[in-house]
Structures are given as C-alpha cells and as structure tokens.
Amino acid sequence: MKRTLALLLALLLLGGCAKQEPPPSQSGPEEPPSQSGPEHPPSQSDPEHPPSQSDPEHPHASLRYKYSADFFDVFDTYTTVVGYAGSQEEFDSYVELIHGEMLRLHRLYDIYSDYPGITNLKTVNDSAGLAPVAVDAAIIDLLELAERAYEETGGAVNVAMGPVLRVWHEYREAGLADPEGARLPDMAELRAAAEHMAIENLIVDREAGTVLLREAGMSLDVGALAKGYAAQLAADRAREAGFTSFVLSAGGNVCAVGTPADGRDSWSVGIQSPDSAQDLLDTVYISDMSVVSSGDYQRYYTVEEVDYHHIIDPETLLPARRARAVTVLHPDSGQADLLSTAAYILPLEEAMALVEAHSAEGIWLLPDGSMRATEGYRAVSQMFGAD
C-alpha cells in the first residue's frame, strides 16, 4: 500500500488553486476523498466556488460547479476525477463513463487475473507457445503501440519483458511481506528469464484479430504504458460526451482536459519530490496535456539498506539507476507514460532527444541532485519562473 500511495502522490492535482497561490500539501485532492466504495464512485460539489463566467456565450458558461469523485478498483491504484459540470447528476454521468471505460480496459490488460467471459492478456500469456488467441480490438491497439514503442525507444520499452519483470515482482512481493528475509534475484535466474523476452516472437494480427506468443515461456507485461493509454481513452470518451473541463488522475498519470471553468487558463499539477511524499519538486501549469512521472521512489523494496525499484533496464536486467525521477508532458497520456519509462532508463542525452523527438517536454532529477529540463518544460514550470 505504501508504494501505491507513493505513486498516487507522485502527481497531485492542484486544480482549485490559482497560479499565484502556493500549492497545498500533498495529502490528497482539494476535497477529501470519500470512502464509500468503488462500485458507485462518490462525488462532491463545490457550490461556493462557481465559475466566474457570466457571459452565456462563454464556452464554460453552463459549467457552474466543481465536483470530485474517486475510485480504487482499476489498475491497482487510486483514481480521482475533478471537474466542472452543470449539476451533480451530469458530473456523475461523466464519472460513470470514465470509470466504466477504465474498468473495461483494466480487465483486458490484466496479466494476473481471469474474468468470466473476458479474453485478456493473462489469457494470451497462458497460451504462449500454443496458438493465436482472438482478442478485443483494444488489446490489438495497445500491442501495436507497444511494438512501435520498442522500435522508437531502442528497446527500452519492451512489453515482452514479462518473464524478467515477473521474477522481480515475485522477489519484491516476498521482500515486502518479509523485510528481514528480503533478497535479490540471482543473475542466472534473470538471464534465464531474459531468454524469453524477444519481442519478435510477439505476433499481432489485426486482420485476424489475434495475438500469438510464438515461444513457450514468453509473457507480456504492459505496465510501462497500459495505465496511461487507458486513462487517455477514458478521458477522450468523456470529452466526446461533453465533459470539457476536468482532470483525471490515475495514480499519478494526470490527464488535463480543457481549462478550469473558473476563468483560469490552466490547471496546476504538483510533482512529488522523490525524497518525501509531503513535498513538491515542482508545479506545472497545463491545459489539454498529460503529466506522467517515473522514479525510484515508486514500487520498491529494500535489501541490505539498498532500495530496488520496479523500472528494470532491459540491458542490465537490474533497476535503472541513471535518474532519480523523470516527469514527461505530452498531449497523449499513453505516449507520456511510455516516454517517461524510456526517459528514466536511457542515458540522459538519448532520453532528452527521444522526448523532444516526440514533441514532448520533460525534467530529469539526476542521482547527484542536479536537474535537466527541456525548454518547453521550463516554460510551464513554477520552478523555472512560470506564473
């Protein structure tokens, strides 16, 4: 749970604060989250702070109040929606749409659980070396993106790394359950798993609607991009349905749609310091943009006083160590998600070139405490003078 909360706090929505105001502490969204359960996402309204627009021709004129909702049953993380709508009922309908889409995709992309009547990535993994598996188009779409990501990142993002990531996952879970007995996987075990991570043996057939893992022992792990990709699809569906002023934060993957309907021209998003869940590294001001962070403070365990996090370098088969934290800004959350992973793994100059080649922006906190940022990031960063 500590690691999940660290991920949640990595990018905190500060949507109710004007740029000039200092960001609140990272104890949660502005409105305290309800604990009534995920089946029916709760929501809260803020009728004392309606948008300032009185002109009926203003694009946000009908969005009178700010509401929030949260749920905790998708992608193993805490998800918050904060946005403006004309009524509680209207807001709830948008949240239901977002929640339903993310739950659908969570089940399709799940590699650990089976669901009645659903063929998902666990089904694909279980069929490795056997026969093609007929899958939903959403799986085809995600895996085609993953194949492109492998080529564009020089292999830094490889969804066929499942066997290696599973080894680390098992040792991490064991170490969290028994900290005194925590240990590292043997390199021989990791190398044996790596023999089954060739992405060339992933066959995605869009025309047939099937996925084949040609080699027994293969398995897919889409953790580097699935949550951001799903968040973007859900946000797009809500926007198409008429929800035009909101932020969706899925455990730190933040999608900001439109601008706040209170007259401000951007949303404020706080970026967690890797040294403390209570402190901010920076605040960025964005609209129609996604913000995703990767870092060594998320999902880790400790062996002999050394922390080992979950972002594994495919070259070394060990946790990447070239940065403490990376944050990427891109209009598409799926792209931001995979780019933040690649930018964390790759050498700094390669990482910066990759991010800029994809019309993204980013900041790197390096192991020695220094920082590097793209010009576009600096332009929206409080740390670098944006206001």
Q: Convert the pLDDT of each residue in 185-203 to its tens digit.
A: 999 999 999 999 999 999 9
Q: Between the CA atoms of 326, 297, 289 and 283, what dihedral angle is there, to the nearest 10 degrees?
A: -90
Amino acid at site 124: V
Find the mean pLDDT for residues 95-123. 98
Q: Where are the alpha helices (DSSP H) in the chain?
A: 2-10, 88-109, 121-126, 137-152, 162-177, 187-194, 226-240, 333-345, 348-357, 375-379
The CATH superfamily holding the domain 2-109+225-314 is: ApbE-like domains (3.10.520.10)
Question: Residue 90 pLDDT > 60, yes or no?
Answer: yes
Give the separation between CA 13 and CA 283, rounded to whole angstroms.
Answer: 10
- Quote the tokens at residue 357: 């080649």
Half-sphere exposure of 217 (CA within 13 A, CB side): 10
Reported as a pLDDT band with limits 50, 70 and 90, residue 6 is very low
Question: What was the pLDDT predicted at 234?
Answer: 98
**Residue 308: strand pairing partners:** 301
* pLDDT, tens only, 343-359: 999 999 999 999 999 99
Q: In this structure, are residues 294 and 341 in contact, taking their beta carbons and an 8 Å threshold?
A: yes
pLDDT tens-digit readout, 215-269: 999 999 999 999 999 999 999 999 999 999 999 999 879 999 999 999 999 999 9
Q: Which CATH architecture has domain 121-213?
A: Orthogonal Bundle (1.10)
Q: Where are the domains of the chain?
A: 2-109+225-314, 121-213
Lowest mean pLDDT among 38-52, 65-79, 80-94, 153-167: 38-52
Q: Which is nearest to 294 in space by CA: 311, 280, 281, 317? A: 311
